[in-house]
Structure 1
Amino acid sequence: MSEVAAELPEDRQVWLRAFYGFSPEEAGYLGFTYEPQRETMLERMRDGDLVLIYGAVDHLTDTSLKRQALGFLEVTGERCSDRERSAPPAIDWKEEHGFLDRWTFGVKVRRVWRVRNRVRINTIAPEAYANENRFERTTRAILLTPEERERALSHPVFQVNVYGEPSISEAELAKGVMGELLKPSRGFPPSLGTRTATHEDGENNLYLMMLEGGAEALLGRTGSHVGKALVKVGRSNDPKRRLKEVNGGFPENGTCRWKLVNSQAFPDVSTAHRHEDELKDLFKVRFSSQGGEFFTADKREIENEFMRFCVSKMPAIKSAPGKAKGIN
């Protein structure tokens, strides 16, 4: 199996489901017509699972979308109704087609990515797309095999906003290969040009930020992250300024904010960059990756691990052991 599949969390399953269309900007849920169908899937799915959506073979599906992979939904374990997570145009469409009694039992969707290139679904998931599985994948969802999962996650995608979820700015919507986007990100390598060398090659800091209110404030009220801390790790020559930039993405009256918990200065950008990647690799093993530079874990454990890591990277100062910690 490829590196992409091996690096992903083993408990993140990928399912296949048919839709007439794909408009997550207007419908932020995975819908089921009958409640037992939803409950069956909630028993099988895990919070954070992905559902690969393809265009159903039906006259209601745009011809260019039939049998095409359209995008990925990241589901939560939270129940909802269709009206809770549908914009007026989505409800209007259902009413126009006499579908107000369909897909009313929902599961909330947290994030969505559209597949960038057109690809036929039978080339990705030939077993799941077999005719004998038609009823399962059109009314509930069918689990992809490990090989199908690997192929599905190898396609380029771009993230879009989800109706009912906080809006994400265009600059922060992720783009890339699906599998890579779910792995902890690597820090940007330092670039020391003549014009910026004096500024960039100075002191640089690793930082640990924690979301006030716990992980469920952003990741939903169900799943293994409930009761855990959500943290962001990174590198900056000014962690306090970076904190303001990160919090600038929240509304002024928002109920959650990032807090700068700890930071550690290193003598130059190259050293800080190297330690940043090492820290993310460590956190990926020790804690639960939420993609990019975000992780969930027990608050005290993750704070202590950050401190231990930073201390281990500081030079020993025999005459002043207290200063060797360097922890702010």
Structure 2
Amino acid sequence: MGELSKSMLEGRDVWLSSQWGFDPDAWGMFGFTRERDRDAFIRNTKPNPLPLMVIYITNSAPGPRVNPRHRGKIVGAVELSRELGNARQFMSETSYEWKESDPRARGRWEFAVRVERAWKIDAPSCRVADFANITYRPSLGQHIGARGMPLQADEVAKLCTMPFAAHPVFSSSGSAP
């Protein structure tokens, strides 16, 4: 298994964000809708060790691509490289075509940071409100989803108790290693 250990998290910037789904083997990037939000994230995180983004599924995530039982729950985490680009560079062609064909997603999340590694929880059960009880508030949901927010040390420590497993990440060569 590829759990997130205490030593792996030590000294690392760990942030929280939401998405409509979690599919790193097809979406090998974390996307921001506004370039200034991506640039602020890069400015506000250390390059070594690489930052980690913990992902929960937003309650407003549209179906049918989202399991309704996953809404509001922690589903995974990604280690973000310092490689910037556009979404298409770091996504499978099928995923990019879906994103651009859906009017709710078209043009969003274009300012990308390539994912280096990913961990997934196969049966999510931890609600974001319980996990990030200091950082998360429903009134901050849109801000967290658009920009991310740094987690507090007590929240980061909880990651070591969660059932994360290493998960393949889409690479620009078209395959997930």
Give the TM-score normalised by the residue count of structure 2.
Answer: 0.85
2: distance between equivalents of 1:140 and 1:153? Answer: 24
1:20 paired residue number: 20
- AA aligned to 2:45 is M
Residue by residue over 1:36-63, the C-alpha shift from the partner in whole angstroms, topping out at 9 and shown as x without a partner, is 0110101012231111111101151431
2:161 paired residue number: 154
- AA aligned to 1:35 is E
For structure 2, the residue ranges without an aligned partner over 5 or more in a row are none
1: distance between equivalents of 2:9 and 2:25? Answer: 27
1:96 Cα deviation from its structure 2 partner: 2.4
- AA aligned to 1:57 is N
- AA aligned to 2:143 is E
Matches within 5 A, 1:91-110: 91-98=96-103, 99-110=105-116
2: distance between equivalents of 1:9 and 1:52? Answer: 12
1:34 Cα deviation from its structure 2 partner: 0.8
- Residues 32/115 of structure 1: CA separation in 2 closer, same or farther (3 Å cut): same
1:131 Cα deviation from its structure 2 partner: 2.5
Q: Is the 8 A contact 1:125 1:148 kept in 2?
A: yes
1:8 Cα deviation from its structure 2 partner: 4.1
2:149 paired residue number: 142
- Residues 167/21 of structure 1: CA separation in 2 closer, same or farther (3 Å cut): closer
Answering whether residue 42 of structure 2 is matched by residue 42 of structure 1, we say: yes
Answering whether residue 89 of structure 2 is matched by residue 84 of structure 1, we say: yes
- AA aligned to 2:70 is L
2:130 paired residue number: 123
- AA aligned to 1:82 is A
1:88 Cα deviation from its structure 2 partner: 1.5
2:74 paired residue number: 69
2: distance between equivalents of 1:116 and 1:26? Answer: 16
Residue by residue over 1:287-327, the C-alpha shift from the partner in whole angstroms, topping out at 9 and shown as x without a partner, is xxxxxxxxxxxxxxxxxxxxxxxxxxxxxxxxxxxxxxxxx
> Could you say what secondary structure the match of 1:77 adopts?
strand
The two structures, once aligned, show a CA RMSD in angstroms of 1.8
1: distance between equivalents of 2:57 and 2:140? Answer: 15
- AA aligned to 1:112 is A
2:32 paired residue number: 32
Q: Radius of gyration: which is bigger?
A: 1
Answering whether residue 118 of structure 2 is matched by residue 112 of structure 1, we say: yes
- Residues 59/16 of structure 1: CA separation in 2 closer, same or farther (3 Å cut): closer
> Could you say what secondary structure the match of 1:83 adopts?
helix
> Could you say what secondary structure the match of 2:77 adopts?
strand
2: distance between equivalents of 1:147 and 1:116? Answer: 24
2:60 paired residue number: 58
Q: Is the 8 A contact 1:46 1:77 kept in 2?
A: no
- Residues 102/167 of structure 1: CA separation in 2 closer, same or farther (3 Å cut): closer
For structure 1, the residue ranges without an aligned partner over 5 or more in a row are 169-328
